[in-house]
Amino acid sequence: MKKEILLSIDDAIKAAEKLKEEKAVQFIHDSAKLIAAVFAKGGKILIAGNGGSLCDAMHFAEELSGQFRKKRMALPAIALADAGFLTCTANDFGYEEVFARGVEAYGKKGDVFIALTTSGNSLNLLQAFYKAKERHLRTIAFLGKDGGKMKGMADLEWVVDGFSTSDRIQEAHMAAIHILIEMVEKELFPCSTLHSFVC
């Protein structure tokens, strides 16, 4: 079993190394700039995904609306993850509409919709992208494999290719999300010290 564990560790390291590729660095840079600018103008971000990617969306949102590394003002980020809303919408409209309804409910012109998907083929996220475009939201996509049907749809996208399973892709996504949040904070709170974001 130790041999298999080491092989899996090597695979996880390969996923992390995807973050060093120029396309990943540029994506994080551009996404951080966009999100910080939206927050600075009083906008918000909406985040969605399925399964483990929805858990990552919740993680993403709470570290912006709650706290990441240091105390600072709360930032408006919503994961479209409320169980009552999801089951109501799925029951009444079909599961493919759950995130589009969330964008319709909460999204305003100038906000950002972020999709996390390892396949790029989730119909509910594709529908949400159409709704986001209709309502003039900016869009960001964290993708995997070959990008799927969502490839090329977002204003900003990053495809973690070279992995056939979702776990490694999600690990790379989550690492990128943490770095992105760190960069957003640096953009918005440049006067931060070790203990405070107060200038």
pLDDT tens-digit map of 50-103: 999 999 999 999 999 999 988 899 999 999 999 999 999 999 999 999 999 999
Is residue 110 domain-resident? yes
Q: Does residue 87 form part of some domain?
A: yes
Residue 10 lies in a domain: no
Number of domains present in the structure of the chain: 1
Q: What is the mean pLDDT of residues 164-186?
A: 96
Task: Quote the mean pLDDT of the chain.
Answer: 94
| H helix runs in the chain, sequence order | 2-17, 22-40, 52-65, 83-93, 98-106, 123-134, 166-188
Structural domain includes residue 81: yes
Residue 88 lies in a domain: yes
Asked, for residue 177, whether it belongs to a domain, the answer is yes
Confidence of residue 192 (pLDDT cuts 50, 70, 90): low
Q: Which of 102, 105, 98, 114 has its CA nearest to residue 156?
A: 114
Domain that holds residue 119: 25-163+172-187
Q: Pick from 148, 145, 165: which is nearest to 11 by CA?
A: 165
Confidence tier at 15 by pLDDT (50, 70, 90) = very high
CATH of the domain at 29: 3.40.50.10490
pLDDT in tens, 146-170: 999 999 999 999 999 999 999 999 9
The DSSP output letter for 72 is: -
In degrees, to the nearest 5, what angle opens at C-alpha 65 toward C-alphas 60 and 68? 65
pLDDT at 195: 43
Q: Is 20 a domain residue?
A: no
Confirm whether 179 is domain-assigned: yes
Please indicate, yes or no, whether the overall pTM of this predicted structure exceeds 0.85. yes
Looking at residues 167-192, what average pLDDT do you find?
94
- Tokens read off for 81: 């993850």
CA distances from 197 to 41, 52, 66, 68 (A): 19, 32, 14, 12
Give the pLDDT of residue 5: 95
The reported pLDDT for the residue numbered 70 is 85
